[in-house]
């Protein structure tokens, strides 16, 4: 395994969330003997209900060792998502995947 990727939230807006993510990442790295592989986290949809959580997502590099954040800037929500507005539309999912790949290459020095 070359890196860990994360997209999604639990405890939306909870200020202790970055520390909880750090504990999870450290436990995974230790339990799976992964060493100091990069951890890559993605932002939430800017227009969605959980957009405020991006403040916490962007704190991760100062809390989690060897952490990078993938931007969701300019991405569009799925119009069929309804009330919550949590999910990206198809084209934005593809773009987000490309951004994850680019960030992974940056993190690994490729």
Distance CA 45, CA 41 (A): 13
Sign of the CA dihedral running 24, 29, 32, 38: positive
Q: Render each residue's pLDDT in the chain as its tens digit; 110 residues.
A: 899 998 877 777 788 999 999 999 999 999 999 999 999 999 999 988 888 889 999 999 999 999 999 999 999 999 888 777 788 999 999 999 999 999 999 999 99
Predicted pLDDT of residue 80: 85
pTM of the model: 0.90
For 49, residues 6+ apart whose C-beta sits below 8 A from its C-beta are: 83, 84, 85, 86
Predicted pLDDT of residue 42: 94
Predicted pLDDT of residue 52: 80
Predicted pLDDT of residue 30: 97
């Amino acid at each position: 395994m070359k890196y860990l990727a994360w997209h999604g939230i639990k405890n939306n807006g909870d200020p202790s969330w970055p520390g909880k993510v750090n504990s999870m990442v450290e436990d995974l790295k230790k339990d799976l003997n992964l060493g100091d592989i990069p951890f890559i986290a993605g932002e939430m949809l800017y227009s969605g209900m959980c957009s405020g959580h991006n403040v916490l997502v962007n704190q991760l590099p100062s809390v989690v060792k060897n952490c990078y954040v993938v931007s969701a800037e300019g991405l569009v929500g799925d119009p069929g998502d309804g009330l919550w507005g949590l999910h990206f539309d198809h084209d934005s999912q593809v773009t987000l995947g490309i951004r994850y790949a680019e960030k992974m290459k940056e993190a690994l020095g490729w």
